[in-house]
Amino acid sequence: MTNYIEFSKEDVCSLERKDIDIPDFSELEVVRYFTNLSRINWAVDVGFYPLGSCTMKYNPKINDFIANKFNDFHPYLDDAQPILELLKKLEHSIAYLVGLDAVSLLPAAGAQGEYTALLIAKKYFNTKSELRDTVLIPDSAHGTNPASASMAGFNVITIKSNNQGQIDIDDLKNKLGSHVAVFMITNPNTLGIYEKNIEDITRLCRDYGVLTYYDGANFNAIIGKLRPGDMGFDMVHLNLHKTFSTPHGSGGPGAGPIAVREFLKRFLPVPVISYNGKYRLDFDLPDSIGMIRDFWGNIGVLVRALAYILSYGKDIRKVSEFAVLNANYLRKRLKDYFVDPYDQEFCAHEFVLSASNYKPIKAMDIAKRMLDYNVHSPTTYFPLIVEEALMIEPTETETIHTLDHFVEVVKSVVNDINTDPSLLTEAPFNTPVGRVNDALASREPKPTKKSLNKE
């Protein structure tokens, strides 16, 4: 039998409606409110969403349906064999896909996975009484990498990229040493370029006793084809909400499980799921870094991920094959309209172009104008090392018609630049909200009914 946490019936029954501050609306009003909100929002289910680095692919509804089956399991259940078994299966699948030994499903996002793994690295070196206080991170990295390293108490040193958009090995060699704890990298990197020398890089780090960390945000580019463990990495996170079928955006929920090599397993956060004829949540791990969150992880996201993996089976490599094919097709068709900063023959699952040839029109103006043509814009101004960057990730779930349509959109925008630049600098015109002050809008958001009603 399962036990729910106990609370006093009297507490609940003595409450009256007036004691609780609930707004008074009819069901219809609430339905209309949320339906209208959804209609002024953009989503993968509405149209193309090539937001680079975010992997805005179609998330099959069947995975939502399956996750919903688990809605009634409360995290205070003291025993839920089916869920624990499911989570164990997911751990095994992830370990297999990344080529490492042990997994924690607890981190709620990629960034928390990074932070958790860095705490593990810290504990590992403390246990060995090695004083290592530095993390090396390429200049193309996502901002969460240096942020996590700094939160975990490390100094961050940046490694330069070379003119091929890859790690400058000499710079890495100069900066490696006995003070370095971890080298973190995304591969393919945020330029959509695969690090050709990745095995030499991880070997070099190992020679210095440095742990290597694989930021798996771009796992969509290699899933089923390559494994970070085989590239030589010691620790990995995956962003299940990016690669593994959880609709995301606007802050979650997500999941950023980590996988580590056997020698780091004893440091994983608790609880771990152990099996001894029966599954159970095990808090008894003397070397663990401790708890990093409450309960068992974001179950809905984890269920979707397992459903997604199992529905592909050994065909999961098709995800990366089509993601890379779509990106290369789109890149070939768009290259001539922009500056190609690295002129590689091929890209991985995404690519970065520079809009610097349209100055004084900015990448931001181009992105805003695209909205008027009913597509989401690419990521802009990231990675930081490319001037006026447009980062485009079509994903594997788009058809060639959608990609061709996007090329037409880009052509129309270029035509607008040549005919009437004010169409760019004042865009968007056709969206529910016009151009906002980005910084102010995120610091002091003021969603009002007025903006809701504007069609």
Ligand X SMILES: *Cc1c(COP(=O)(O)O)cnc(C)c1O
**Site residues, ligand X (CB under 6 A):** 53, 109-111, 142, 144, 186, 190, 215, 217, 239, 254, 256
Nearer to ligand X, 239 or 328 (CB): 239
Closest approach, Cβ 117 to ligand X, in A, equals 12
Tell me whether residue 63 or residue 428 sits nearer to ligand X (CB atom). 63
* Other CB atoms within 10 A of residue 57 CB: 23
User: Are the C-beta atoms of 384 and 357 separated by less than 8 Å?
Assistant: no
CB of 249 to ligand X, least distance (A): 10
In whole angstroms, the minimum distance from the beta carbon of 395 to ligand X comes to: 13
Which residue's CB is nearer to ligand X, number 228 or number 428? 228
Q: At a CB cut-off of 8 Å and minimum separation 6, what does 66 contact?
A: 303, 304, 307
CA-based torsion, 41, 45, 46, 48: positive or negative: positive
CB of 247 to ligand X, least distance (A): 13
How far CA 55 is from CA of 71, 156, 220, 256, 391, in Å, comes to 26, 27, 8, 14, 11
Nearer to ligand X, 224 or 254 (CB): 254
Q: Which is nearer to ligand X, 80 or 198 (CB)?
A: 198
Residue with nearest beta carbon to ligand X = 110
Q: Return the amino acid letter for 443.
A: R
68 burial level (CB within 10 Å; 0-12, 13-18, 19+): exposed
Of 132 and 248, CB closest to ligand X:
248
CB of 239 to ligand X, least distance (A): 4
Q: Which is nearer to ligand X, 350 or 388 (CB)?
A: 350
Bridge-based pairing state of the strands 155-159 and 180-186: unpaired
Closest distance to ligand X from the beta carbon of 52 (Å): 8
DSSP 5-32: PP--HHHHHT--GGGS------HHHHHH
Residue among 254 and 394 whose Cβ is closer to ligand X: 254
What is the distance between the alpha carbons of residues 100 and 103, in angstroms, rounded to a whole number? 8
Quote the least distance from Cβ 244 to ligand X, whole Å: 12
Are the C-beta atoms of residues 427 and 371 closer than 8 Å to each other?
A: yes
What is the torsion angle, in degrees rounded to the nearest 10, for the CA atoms of residue 106, residue 110, residue 113 and residue 118? -170
What CA–CA distance (Å, rounded) separates 125 from 129?
6
Q: Which is nearer to ligand X, 100 or 258 (CB)?
A: 258
* Cα–Cα distance measured from residue 314 to residue 60, given in angstroms and rounded to the nearest whole number: 18
Please measure the distance between the N-terminal and C-terminal CA atoms of the chain and give it in whole angstroms: 53
Other beta carbons within 10 angstroms of residue 38's beta carbon come to 11
